[in-house]
Amino acid sequence: MSIKSVAINTGGGDAPGLNAVIRSAVLAAINRGWKCYGIRDGYHGILIPELYPDGGIMDLTKDRVRGITHLGGTILGTTNRGNPLHFPVHQPDGSYMEINRIDELISKFKNHGIDALLAIGGDGSLTIANAFVERGFPVVGVPKTIDNDLFGTEVTFGFDSAVSFATECIDRLHSTAESHHRVMIVEVMGRYAGWIALHAGVAGTADAILIPEIPYNIEKIAQKVMEREQIGRHFSIIVVAEGAKPADGDVSIIGKSIGQAERLGGAGERVAKQIEKLTGKETRVVVLGHLLRGGTPTTFDRLLSLRFGTAAVRALAAGETGVMVGLDCSEIRCVPFSDVAGKMRGVPVHSDTILTARDLGITFGD
């Protein structure tokens, strides 16, 4: 491939480290003599240009990315709506139909002089990126999600920042839970994977951790609470992943909007009501939610983001396409989209961290 310009887009939920990826990719590309563009809000800058009077595609220069490594969020904006593979178009009767706008995007890329794309995102974004590759347009992906649920990489950037913040919150809740003799339920993000709940729960010395990979029995959680009560520990901390589900039930879904994945929520509240009923102990819920997405990335996430961004540019320069950069045994390697797109990496139920938690006396309700 002869590349003279590259576009960068960020899709899905935001994550600490996005700006670091953008900065490193821009600098690595400019240092190779390439021109860089940024697409606003996923692909909306191209698909809905009327929303951006100042331009849906921005020039990314060295000045534009100066001083953004430590900033949370993304200077390009992002969205988890309007998937170009299933783009919602409203009809006169108030209904809507979904159309595929991938070919339209590729045409507009070429009209703008864009030779290749760096797609920064999670499973949904990489599935879209794979559709470009199938049509012959060069793309390299960068794994982004606080959920840490992508195949092809040992860890995604944003995960360490989310776990660090969740752990700090759990630490703070210990003192107030003990002071008031309460059960504190901490609900964290993660969708259908329990990585955040597991790591933050173990690091924060929770008493119970509920994750999607291990369906729970609420009576066993209540039993743990009462066992602590009997030995004079009149409080308990329970960390609940938003995708956690009881053995005899399903995940808690709060809604689904047009062109958007279903939204999970309410798992913590469900557990709290049952625990209070079974134990008689006052139970409160803290939902960390989008707090886990914001803020300054940790040192680990900054460095990983910078490595991912430059590695993605090197991959394009070497003629790679249809691959995602990923961390493998401390080295950055390229993984084919076919090994990544449409797959979810859950927590192995016999992993060392699970075994560590069990040896520490933490229950998973199974």
In this prediction, residue 76 has a pLDDT band, given cuts at 50, 70 and 90, of very high
Print the SS3 string covering the chain. Answer: CCCCEEEEEECCCCCCCHHHHHHHHHHHHHCCCCEEEEECCCCHHHHCHHHCCCCCEEECCCCCCCCCCCCCCCCCCCCCCCCHHHEEEECCCCCEEEECCHHHHHHHHHHCCCCEEEEEECHHHHHHHHHHHHCCCCEEEEEECCCCCCCCCCCCECHHHHHHHHHHHHHHHHHHHHHHCCEEEEEECCCCCCHHHHHHHHHCCCCEEECCCCCECHHHHHHHHHHHHHCCCCCEEEEEECCCCECCCCCCEEECCCCCCCEECCHHHHHHHHHHHHHCCCEEEEECHHHHCCCCCCHHHHHHHHHHHHHHHHHHHCCCCCEEEEEECCEEEEEEHHHCCCCCCCCCCCCHHHHHHHHCCCECCC
Q: Which is higher by pLDDT, 1 or 262?
A: 262
Across the range 185-196, mean pLDDT stands at 95
285-319 pLDDT tens trace: 999 999 999 999 999 999 999 999 999 999 999 99
Confidence at 342, pLDDT banded by 50, 70, 90: confident
Confidence of residue 257 (pLDDT cuts 50, 70, 90): low
Residues involved in catalysis: 147
Asked whether residue 261 carries a pLDDT value surpassing 70, the answer given is no
Residue 360 reports pLDDT greater than 70 = yes
